[in-house]
Amino acid sequence: MRFPVIVSAALLVASSVAAEIQPPRVTLTQVDWAAAAASLPDRGSEQPAAEFARTNAQTEKRFPGISKSSVPVLLPLDSGPFQPTKYFLPGPAGYTGTFTINSGEGGFKISYKKKPIDIEITGAGYTYNLEGPDHHETFPAKDLQDAFPGIRRILHEAHVRYVFERFGVPYIVSIQCYDRRPSSKFLSCREADPIAVKFLSLLRTAGGTPQTIEAPKVDLTQPTDTSDFTYYSPGDLIPNSGWRKMPGRADYTVYANMRYPFAEAPSYVKSQSFMPWGDCYRSGHSGRLGRKDSQYHCKVNGIPLTFNESAAVNFTYPWRDNFCELRDFLVGQCPGGYGHQGQDIRPGNCVLQNEGADRCLPYQHRLAAVRDGLIWRTPGNLGAYIVVNTKNDFVRFRYLHMNPKFMDDEGLVTGRQVSQGEIIGKVATWGDYENGTSYHLHFNMQVVTKLGWVWVNPYMSLVLAYEKLIGGRGTEIKPGDPAPIIPDKPPVILNPAPQSDAKAADAKAAAEKPAEAKPRKKTRRHLRKRHR
- Say yes or no to pLDDT of 252 above 50: yes
Range with the poorest average pLDDT among 37-41, 240-244, 339-343, 514-518:
514-518
Residues 463, 362 contacting (CB under 8 angstroms)? no
Averaged pLDDT, 345-369: 97
**Global model pTM greater than 0.85:** yes
Helix residue ranges per DSSP H, 72-188: none
pLDDT for residue 118: 96
Residue 297 phi/psi, 5-degree rounding, is -155, 155
Task: Find, among 155, 353, 135, the residue nearest to 249 by Cα.
Answer: 135
- How much is the pLDDT for 506? 58
Query: In the predicted model, is pLDDT for residue 327 greater than 80?
Result: yes
pLDDT, average across residues 40-48:
91
Question: pLDDT at position 505, please?
Answer: 53
pLDDT of residue 513: 55
CA distance 151 to 146: 9
User: Does 31 score more than 70 pLDDT?
Assistant: yes
- What is the structure's pLDDT at 104? 77
Confidence of residue 77 (pLDDT cuts 50, 70, 90): confident
Q: What is the mean pLDDT of residues 80-99?
A: 96
What mean pLDDT, rounded, does the chain reach?
91
Residue ranges of domains in the chain: 31-207, 226-477
Q: Percent of the chain, pLDDT > 90?
A: 82
Query: In a 10 Å sphere around its CB, with 0-12 CB exposed, 13-18 middle and 19+ buried, how is residue 409 labelled?
Result: exposed
Give me the percent of the chain exceeding a pLDDT of 70.
Answer: 90
* pLDDT for 114: 81
HSE, CB side, 13 Å, CA atoms: give it for residue 364.
20
Residue 80 has pLDDT above 70, yes or no: yes
For residue 68, give the DSSP letter: G
Give me the mean pLDDT over the 138-163 stretch: 95
Q: Given a cut of 70, is residue 520 above it in pLDDT?
A: no
Q: Pairing between strand 351-354 and 492-495?
A: parallel
Return the pLDDT at 510.
57
Mean pLDDT of 35-47: 93
For residue 519, the model assigns a pLDDT of 46
- Whether 56 and 207 have beta carbons less than 8 Å apart is answered as yes
Examine the pLDDT at 370 and tell me if it is beyond 50: yes
Does pLDDT of 6 surpass 60?
no
